Amino acid sequence: MTAGSSFGQTPLTLPEGNRQAMAKFREAWDRKHGGKFSKLLSPVGLRIARRRMAARHNRAQPITARLFTGQTMHVMLPEVVSGSIYSYGYFDECVTAFMLHAVRQGDTVLDIGAHFGFFSLLAADLVGETGQVVSFEPTPSTFAQLSRNLEGYATSTRLNVALGRAEGTATMNDFGLELCAWNFMGDDHRVTVPHDVQPQSFDVPVVTVDCVVDRQGLAPTVLKIDTENYEEEVFHGAKKTLADHGPAVILEAKSEYSERVGAALIAMGYVPYRLADGFAVIPAHGNWEELNRQESNLLFMKHG
């Protein structure tokens, strides 16, 4: 299958209202990728040292981070996502850049697999007072952190549920707050987990995107899906929403599940985009299976 079409031949234009946020993100990225000497003489160096000390002592350390947007966020060192956010003010430059290009003031964003809420906070900043952010996180302890981070945002809704193809329950494998980035549902997992680490397994409620959208009267404009090999289940429960509203979809790639979801999105008229140099977001033309293997995340946009 060949990705791309007659639509989406040019890079996406950064929304006017997000230019200041993009400039701040570039500054944060520059600090992360600067020389070792410059880091040592900056607050970044102190934060990295504290992060490493927490990892060495192997105990959870609650701490407050400042995001590149200026927002504050409660994180947990030495947890890997928290470490990046605390050290540099952001996590995952690819998804962050996609959010900056895809989310506009007044939008409705569904953050599916919200973790502690970094992308929910970013979305809340971008959509402003006229938008909405609905965050989904099935693990109770992780959800508690998410809720704490979004307490002051009137436009935010948090749901302690998983999303799938049908309503019911599913098994959550929970490695605890320090390793919660490894949590997964079902029988498959993206990350190799040390043999001496055993998760706690329990059932969590499952709903569908379509049901949530219908019950809450939402008109989603952006779906961010990061569900550790559960993406295909989420997609099957979102088909009506995708057909009716055509939201942009930010999808974690590199798995057989994302390969099938991406192929289905392309068949629905979506165009995949990838991150290029300088944080440009450009059409990802070529063989879809190869693109899925090459890119860590992809942004799908429906044109026309």
290 residue type, one letter: E
In a domain, 11, yes or no: no
Q: What is the pLDDT of residue 57?
A: 72
Q: Tokens 């704490």 appear where?
A: 148
Query: 277: domain CATH number?
Result: 3.40.50.150
Q: 190 near 184, Cβ under 8 Å?
A: yes
In a domain, 64, yes or no: no
In a domain, 207, yes or no: yes
Q: What is the pLDDT of residue 188?
A: 59
Q: What is the pLDDT of residue 6?
A: 43
**How many CB atoms are closer than 10 A to CB 276?**
13
277 φ/ψ angles, rounded to the nearest 5 degrees: -60, 145
* 3-state secondary structure (DSSP) of residue 295: coil
Task: Residue 264: give the domain boundaries.
Answer: 92-302
Higher pLDDT, 10 or 119: 119
Q: How far apart are CA 56 and CA 244, in angstroms?
A: 50
**pLDDT confidence of 127, banded at 50, 70, 90?**
very high
Mean confidence (pLDDT) of the chain: 90
- Above 80 in pLDDT, residue 39? no
In a domain, 235, yes or no: yes
Say how many domains are in the chain. 1
pLDDT tens-digit map of 156-199: 999 999 999 999 999 988 877 777 777 877 665 555 555 567 78
Q: How far apart are CA 216 and CA 151, in angstroms?
A: 20
pTM exceeds 0.85: yes
- Above 70 in pLDDT, residue 98? yes
Beta bridge partners, 274, equal 282
Q: In residues, how long is the chain? A: 304
In a domain, 284, yes or no: yes
In a domain, 123, yes or no: yes
In a domain, 7, yes or no: no
Q: What is the pLDDT of residue 302?
A: 94
pLDDT tens-digit map of 191-244: 555 556 778 888 999 999 999 999 999 999 999 999 988 999 999 999 999 999
pLDDT tens-digit map of 42-97: 777 778 787 778 777 767 789 999 999 999 999 999 899 999 999 999 999 999 99
Kindly list the distances between the CA atom of residue 203 and the CA atoms of 92, 138, 184, in Å, as whole numbers in the listed order. 29, 10, 12
In a domain, 258, yes or no: yes
